[in-house]
Chains A and B, each alone.
Chain A
Amino acid sequence: MRNTFLAALMAALAACSSAVNHVALRTAADLLDQGRPASLEEPDFQLAKDAMPAQLKLLETLIAADPKDRPLRRLAAEAFGGGAFLFLEDAEPSRAKGLYLRGRDQALTALALKPTFVGLSGKSPESFANTLQSAVKDDVPDLFWAGFGWAGFINLSKDDAAALADLPKVVALMTRVRELDPAFHFAGSDLFFGVYYASRPVLFGGDPKKAKEAFDRAHKMTRGDYQMTHVLNARWYAVAIQDRDLFVKLLKKVLESSSGKLPEARLTDEAAKRKAATLLEKTDDYF
């Protein structure tokens, strides 16, 4: 079904003359944009995983034809970053790194469509953070997915000093998201800060108390219905404070929960359950 749709779309694109071509591209882009909720509501994890490569390639094809289409870039940033996190990073971390970076770059390019943000990533940490002060609420998805992809890449590159040196920029992006729209993507900026403060030793700027506050805020904003919150809380906070009971309790709760209580969260909830099951099997490794 998916392949038939893709083949038809590709054939339509190839057959069109340039004027019609633009209309066809626009239609395809709109279709993808409208199809976003359907992807996120997918209850079958494997189906979503199998569909990912074709969707990513289609997005890149459409972007190549219309590089200044901000919604498309935004969609690609989410698809690359989300895809790496949900489907790849546990089993194939080195491939996930590449996808995270492609997601980050799509978001940064989307931001750079506004002149203020041209050349943003090459700035020093201080001037990077200052430039973000001119971001507005409408920029939040780009800021968030740039930070998400970048954070995912750094988290998988702890043996790479050059990657680590960019962490202050991710913090700046997520700080701005939290200021402008803390509820965005299931309180995603607070989830980032929860992991950020829990994953580093106290000596290196880690802070279990701040991590707990961030996870608690995220929990409150999503009423505990976003299952990935509990998975991240267990993996990072419960491990940091070496609380085995909390780790097991949070992950078991995820396994027993029903997916999709929140709109557009069904697929992530399914992924959360898989991550929870894998983590539970590794309980003895963490404590």
Chain B
Amino acid sequence: MIISSALLAALFAAAPLAAQEAKIIKFATLAPEGSSWMNVMTDLSKELEAKTVGTLKFKFYPGGVSGDEKDVVKKIRIGQLQAGGFTGVGLGEIAANARIIDSPWLFRSRDELTHVRNKFDAELSSAVEKAGFVVLGWTDLGSVYIFSKNPISSIEDMRHNRMWVWEGDPIAQAAYKALGVSPVPLSVVDVMQSLQTGMIDAVYGPPLGVVALQWFQRLKNIYPVPMAQSSGAVLISKKYFDALTSDQKKILTDVSRKHLSRLNELTGVENEKAMAALKAAGLSLGAKPDAESLRRYEELGRTARRELAGRLYDPKLLEAVEKELSTFRARKTAKS
């Protein structure tokens, strides 16, 4: 009896959900169909559809068919799309403050990135919300390494190479400025050709990116110190999100967090596999520099971040992030 009335109550509770017309979230990403990204998004959509009794689901525009990230931001703003998967570039277009987590030589590991991203979730999310978007989840893109034709074993070597910088990428520009390197600014589309002609002889990116972009076939070396831990996010239009029922909002948020944290695990594994594939393709990973050189990068990181504070992100936020990191490191050292 108790069971059947509970069942009845549950049925009635579900009824208003089921009676609504199905809403579709049009989602665009550069990741192609069949990639881990899209596999996870497909699972996410299936669970969302099941839990909202068919009232809310995704429709996908993978493989960049909706244009690059700047196009996708525009299309979301005019309501042609509702959501997208973004790298730091798209994120920077929306809320420059959120790019603080992409800062040069800030994190020593993915653990540190995850810790800071969780700790400052409110600050980062509110920056995104002010720009008209809601964060469905932060995504890892991987450690950013320098890949070069000639072996690089010091900052001095970097100064003697033609280092590429992504046109309009303030983070890498600040990093190279701190290193005293004058990089060659080019769009991503021109990198392959420019590696071939010799206009540039070194690039940067996460291993998976360098494999997907096929740049590695013109490169021979990997510098072992990551420049940054690159992040992205899955964002949805705030206007669209606000118009959902409170049940739908909660389900969408919960289901997204669950699947996107699984995606971050997968991306970590894939970047490791990509690194192995790069070595198998003949690229060699240089020897790790000594402790003194690593300390030098941390100093350069601080210089580069000061350069970016005020211009790209809030200096107070930077201060708070750096303070939190020192505490986190001190706690870790005390434990071990």
Interface string of B276-305 (1 = CB under 8 A from A): 111011100000000000000000000000
Q: Is the CB of A204 within 8 A of B281?
A: no
Which size bracket describes the interface of A in this complex? 20 to 34
Q: Would you list 19 pairs from A and B whose C-beta atoms are within 8 A, ordered by A residue?
A: A124-B282, A156-B34, A159-B266, A160-B273, A161-B271, A162-B280, A164-B277, A165-B216, A165-B280, A199-B63, A200-B63, A200-B64, A201-B30, A201-B32, A205-B213, A205-B214, A240-B65, A242-B65, A285-B59
Interface string of A138-170 (1 = CB under 8 A from B): 000000000000000001111111101101100
- A residues in contact (CB < 8 Å) with B: 124-126, 155-162, 164-165, 167-168, 199-206, 239-240, 242, 285
Q: Is the CB of A164 within 8 A of B212?
A: yes
List the A side residues contacting B270 at CB < 8 Å: 159, 161
Question: B39 within 8 Å of A by Cβ?
Answer: yes
List the A side residues contacting B211 at CB < 8 Å: 161, 164-165
Interface size for B (C-beta < 8 A) is: 37
Give how many A-B residue pairs fall within 8 Å (CB-CB): 81
For the complex, give the distance between the alpha carbons of A160 and B270 in Å.
7
Question: B208 within 8 Å of A by Cβ?
Answer: yes
List the A side residues contacting B60 at CB < 8 Å: 285
Least CB distance, A232 to chain B, in whole angstroms: 15
Task: Pick the contact of A161: B213, B217, B277 (CB < 8 A).
Answer: B277
Q: Is the CB of B189 within 8 A of A126?
A: no
List the B side residues contacting A162 at CB < 8 Å: 273, 276-277, 280
List the B side residues contacting A205 at CB < 8 Å: 189, 192, 213-214
Q: Is the CB of B273 within 8 A of A202?
A: no
For the complex, give the distance between the alpha carbons of A239 and B62 in Å.
10
List the A side residues contacting B66 at CB < 8 Å: 242
Q: Is the CB of A204 within 8 A of B30?
A: yes
> Which B residues between 55 and 72 are near A, CB-CB below 8 angstroms?
59-60, 63-66, 68
Max chain A C-beta neighbours (<10 A), residue from B64, B66, B270: B64
Max chain B C-beta neighbours (<10 A), residue from A159, A240, A285: A159
Least CB distance, B211 to chain A, in whole angstroms: 5
For the complex, give the distance between the alpha carbons of A255 and B60 in Å.
27
Closest 4 CB pairs of A and B: A201-B64, A158-B34, A161-B274, A165-B277
